[in-house]
Amino acid sequence: MDELNRLTPEEFKRSEKTSVIAVLENIRSAYNVGSVFRTSDAFLLESVYLIGYTAQPPHKEIKKTALGAEDTVNWTYFPDSISAIKYLKSINYTIFAIEQVKDSLSLEKIKFVPTDKIAVIFGNEVTGVDQETILHCDGCIEIPQLGMKHSLNIATAAGVVLWEIIKNRMSTSGT
């Protein structure tokens, strides 16, 4: 880790985070949850919010894919998405559901300002983001897809969306 110039877990917890929060709504697979923790660590996200029946640490399947990120990334549990959204709005976050709906914004066309406080909600592996949740969001983002399935695993979708947000911030901030 020294050769890779990586932070220790203590240094990571104290480091300045990116004002981006990944919200996981009713995710069935704890492996997917662990993967999002690991991605959140990679991009220095402020936090992960776990909603409804989404698995919470400590959990052996989260641990298996998070590889310790569940211990370094801040996380909060909310019983429902509306409670999380109300809290996020109270701290001035703009909230996007990651979902294919009418009038959704195509991910590659969005240009976030580095200081924007952004929360992105990823939904259930089968049913996606709940319609009631979508109604309370500031907008929806969809990942352009060219194949027949037009859907991605939630962990893959999170990686794509979070990287695009972080990449955009890095390129506009000169990092």
Q: Which tens digits make up the pLDDT trace of 118-173?
A: 999 999 999 999 999 999 999 999 999 999 888 899 999 999 999 999 997 776 65
Q: How do the domains of the chain map onto residue ranges?
A: 9-173
* Tens digit of each residue's pLDDT (9 = 90 or more) over 39-55: 999 999 999 999 999 99
Q: In the predicted model, what is the mean pLDDT of residues 4-30? A: 89
Output the pLDDT for position 7: 79
Confidence (pTM): 0.93
Domain 9-173: CATH class, spelled out:
alpha beta
Give the HSE-up count for residue 29: Cα atoms under 13 Å, Cβ half-sphere. Answer: 16
Q: Looking at the chain, how many residues does it have?
A: 175
State pLDDT tens for residues 65-108. Answer: 999 999 999 999 999 999 999 999 999 999 999 999 999 999 99
Mind spelling out the 3-state secondary structure of 86-152?
HHHHHCCCEEEEECCCCCCEEHHHCCCCCCCCEEEEECECCCECCHHHHHHCCEEEECCCCCCCCCC
